[in-house]
Structure 1
Amino acid sequence: MISSIFKNGVLTVAALAAFASVAQAGGFARGEADTDILFDADDYAFRAGATYVSPRREFETTGGVANNDGVYTEGYWIPSIAAKIGVSENFACALTYTQPFGAQANYGMDARMAAIANGNNPYGEKGFKTNEYGATCDVKFDAGKGKLHLLGGIFMQDFSYTAVNELDTILPGSTRHGTLRLEDDSAIGYRLGAAYEITEYALRVSLMYRSKIKHEADEGSYDVMDLGSIFLPATGYGTLPQSLKLSAQTGVAEGWLVYGSVKWTDWSVLDALNYNIGGTDFRDAYNWKDGWTVQAGVAHVFTEKLTGTVNLTWDSGVGTGADINTDTWTLGAGIQAKLGPGDLRFGGGVSYLTSGSQSASKGASYDATAGGDWSYAVSGSYKISF
């Protein structure tokens, strides 16, 4: 039987490689909540891990001239924690934590001068991050040869944003730096899904929807450095997108499994981050279009204690000219080894970011181009179940 070869091993290795490569997804996407732990065969399971991503994007030109700033995108960690609690034979819940969205950039002097030449604030650093704390439950029923799963839950997501203005033009005549800080402690969203699986064939098809989240920061501040106690009040708002993901996997021969997924993300909902400082309105324009992420892979059982997988992921660029957010191709791989009382997973991905451009006429702070760049990701986790 195929099920005697796969059990949970290959399924979790497939999820590992997907995690490592989706970390390179378009827009501001980072981690996904580990709701796959609900399909663990045991009643209780705990998995914790992290992914490190090193995006290596740099400008070729800014303002029509060569740019010598080097890489402006910052590396980042994506934590993931999940715990399954089996309440009964057909009902279980999972508690999850991850950072679903985020970005961090550090712009050099050439990029700042291009912003000044175009009449815009020369931000040296910009970044934000989110934390998601979720609870998702699974009710399953007998359906033919397999099981039908109905999934649903809620999550709380926070948001924090920081931008450092290297030459303050908000206060007329000032040459000092200013730091904008916006924060939303909590916003509530939900996820709904369904899945069908036949364990005998290691077959599973699932569809998961995650709602959009609107963040409103009502008590932010703009701190003018070197001017003592000058803090201007600041507020901001923006919407992070909804998504829908279809995943499928099946055993095709003894020791072999193929899998794939298609994910749509509503990035067009984020046209800009809108904020107000001291009564004056500003906006960071994105003007993105919706994004698609498509993945296909294969997994293989080498021994009773070692399985492996490799996959290829294409993520459509969501940029329309207000920034450089282009197509990404990722080759990912992962292994799972039974070690001690649990399972150790390790994987990685190499991504190619295609070339692109941005222009002031389409909402950018300055004209710029970027060539093809490479990014890298590594991921590891450990799971104990009983």
Structure 2
Amino acid sequence: MIGKIFKNGILAAAAFAALASTAQAGGYSRGEADTDILFESGDFIFRAGATYVSPRRAFKTTGGTANHDGVYSNDYWIPSVAAKIGISENFACALTYTQPFGADATYGPQARAAMVGLGKYSDKGFETNEYGATCDVKFDVGPGKIHFLGGVFLQDFTYDATNEGGLLPAGKFHLRDDGAFGYRIGAAYEITEYALRVSLMYRSEVKHEADEGYYDFTTLPIPTRSATGYGTLPQSLKLSVQTGVAPGWLVYGSVKWTDWSVLDTLNYTITGLGANKDVYNWKDGWTLQAGVAHVFNEKLTGTVNLTWDSGVSTGADIHGDTITLGAGILAKVGPGDLRFGGGITRMSSGSQSIAKGATFDATGGGGWAYGVTGSYKISF
């Protein structure tokens, strides 16, 4: 039977989907919590890994003239840790950690010269950490099992920027929210004999209230000012499907909707300097993926996939469509499973304008992004 080819967790296509991606999802999406570990065989499973992404975004023009600043989007790492505990034959829970959202940019002199508004920012970025617990209860239904999943997570938020001057004197800007709660719920149906699984997972939005902020003036003898801010990071819904199609072969795919339109602005107030905001005005994003995996032998499995992500920009930045080709392998190494993959992403060109909320007029000529990822799993 097809299912025997995939026994003992040799092939976990849902995990491969993330493995062979360069994390070039729309907006500021980065990692996903590894809740797929709940579907893997074993009462005690631990998996840890990381993904390295080099986005390579650059401006073609800024302020109407050719830009020679080079790449402004910084490389980054996405950690992922997951541990499954089987409590009974039909009930298990997983503890997970990842960084679901983030951004990191360093702007050159030509981009800073074109900026209007309060500051001439040399760098801006934010980071989130998600600590989650998700449980799965399953029942026999027909030839397979139905799963009901649910859990909560704590997500923090940190935002930093460096202003080199402008209407606001030069300084360091910092906002932090130690954590806000969200939840995820889902359902799945699987028939192990055919390596068939259909799952639907919802992740809630998170509203952040950053009340541990400050603006520290770096060139003037002015006391540090306190700052506060708020914004919402999006909810999402993901449908995933996988099935065996022949001995040793499996196909998989997914469709994900992310409510990026909820992030129209990041609002903040610096004491004594009034209320301000970073404008995004994004539209909702869609991510579609399709792939195929093959078991070569008992110790080696491989996969390739193609991912398309819709751009979310409406003119306040140059976040356009992306297409990613990814590949990965799973190998039995030592007492566990080693997963390694990589991908290359083509980014479309785009444009932004002050009239649509940007801090400067610019165009982006498209480009390439690269990523590699790896993880190791041990089962007890």
Give the TM-score category using the shorter length: over 0.9
Written as runs of structure 1 = structure 2, the 5 A alignment for 1:166-185 is: 166-170=164-168, 174=169, 177-185=170-178
The letter of the residue matching 2:278 is D
Q: Which residue of 2 aligns with 1:240?
A: 233
Written as runs of structure 1 = structure 2, the 5 A alignment for 1:32-181 is: 32-115=32-115, 118-170=116-168, 174=169, 177-181=170-174
The letter of the residue matching 2:42 is D
For residues 296-337 of structure 1, the C-alpha deviation after alignment (integer angstroms, 9 at most, x for no partner) is 000000111000000000000000000111000000110000
Residues 20, 163 of structure 1: alpha-carbon distance in 2 compared, 3 angstrom cutoff: farther
Kept in 1, the 8 Å contact 2:22–2:370? The answer is: no
Deviation at 1:7, TM superposition (A): 2.0
Report the Cα distance in structure 2 between the residues aligned to 1:59 and 1:7, rounded to whole angstroms.
49
CA RMSD of aligned residues (A): 1.2
Q: Please, what TM-score do these two structures have when normalized by structure 1?
A: 0.96
Question: Aligned with 2:21: secondary structure?
Answer: helix
Q: Which residue of 2 aligns with 1:297?
A: 291
Report the Cα distance in structure 2 between the residues aligned to 1:206 and 1:235, rounded to whole angstroms.
39
Report the Cα distance in structure 2 between the residues aligned to 1:8 and 1:315, rounded to whole angstroms.
33
The letter of the residue matching 2:212 is E
For residues 177-228 of structure 1, the C-alpha deviation after alignment (integer angstroms, 9 at most, x for no partner) is 2111000001000000000000000000000000000001112100001445
Residues 63, 327 of structure 1: alpha-carbon distance in 2 compared, 3 angstrom cutoff: same
Question: Aligned with 1:37: secondary structure?
Answer: helix
Q: Which residue of 1 aligns with 2:316?
A: 322
Report the Cα distance in structure 2 between the residues aligned to 1:312 and 1:85, rounded to whole angstroms.
32
Report the Cα distance in structure 1 between the residues aligned to 2:31 and 2:136, rounded to whole angstroms.
21
Deviation at 1:19, TM superposition (A): 3.9
Paired residue for 1:189, among 154, 158, 182? 182
Residues 286, 75 of structure 1: alpha-carbon distance in 2 compared, 3 angstrom cutoff: same
Residues 13, 379 of structure 1: alpha-carbon distance in 2 compared, 3 angstrom cutoff: farther
Deviation at 1:16, TM superposition (A): 2.9
Paired residue for 1:275, among 264, 268, 276? 268
For residues 3-53 of structure 1, the C-alpha deviation after alignment (integer angstroms, 9 at most, x for no partner) is 111125453355234244261101000000000000111111000000000
The letter of the residue matching 1:193 is G
Deviation at 1:127, TM superposition (A): 0.4
Question: Aligned with 1:38: secondary structure?
Answer: helix
Kept in 1, the 8 Å contact 2:19–2:374? The answer is: no
In structure 1, stretches of 5+ residues that fail to align are none
The letter of the residue matching 1:209 is Y
Report the Cα distance in structure 2 between the residues aligned to 1:20 and 1:238, rounded to whole angstroms.
31
The letter of the residue matching 1:322 is A
Deviation at 1:120, TM superposition (A): 4.6
Report the Cα distance in structure 2 between the residues aligned to 1:132 and 1:356, rounded to whole angstroms.
31
The letter of the residue matching 2:112 is R
Question: Aligned with 2:71: secondary structure?
Answer: coil
The letter of the residue matching 2:295 is V
Report the Cα distance in structure 2 between the residues aligned to 1:122 and 1:235, rounded to whole angstroms.
20
Paired-residue identity, %: 73
Q: Which residue of 2 aligns with 1:336?
A: 330
Report the Cα distance in structure 2 between the residues aligned to 1:105 and 1:22, rounded to whole angstroms.
18
Question: Aligned with 1:60: secondary structure?
Answer: strand
The letter of the residue matching 1:150 is F
Q: Please, what TM-score do these two structures have when normalized by structure 2?
A: 0.98
In structure 2, stretches of 5+ residues that fail to align are none
Does residue 199 of the first structure (1) align with residue 192 of the second (2)? Answer: yes
Report the Cα distance in structure 1 between the residues aligned to 2:18 and 2:226, rounded to whole angstroms.
42
Paired residue for 2:224, among 227, 231, 235? 231
Residues 301, 311 of structure 1: alpha-carbon distance in 2 compared, 3 angstrom cutoff: same
Question: Aligned with 2:198: secondary structure?
Answer: strand
Kept in 2, the 8 Å contact 1:86–1:93? The answer is: yes
Deviation at 1:119, TM superposition (A): 4.4
The letter of the residue matching 2:364 is A
Kept in 2, the 8 Å contact 1:9–1:307? The answer is: no
Worse-superposed segment, 228-237 or 238-247: 228-237
Residues 66, 262 of structure 1: alpha-carbon distance in 2 compared, 3 angstrom cutoff: same
Kept in 2, the 8 Å contact 1:25–1:293? The answer is: yes
Runs of 4 or more above 3 Å deviation: 8-11, 226-229
The letter of the residue matching 1:369 is T
Deviation at 1:233, TM superposition (A): 1.2
Report the Cα distance in structure 2 between the residues aligned to 1:119 and 1:270, rounded to whole angstroms.
20
Aligned residue pairs, count: 379
The letter of the residue matching 2:165 is L
Report the Cα distance in structure 2 between the residues aligned to 1:354 and 1:214, rounded to whole angstroms.
30
Does residue 307 of the first structure (1) align with residue 301 of the second (2)? Answer: yes
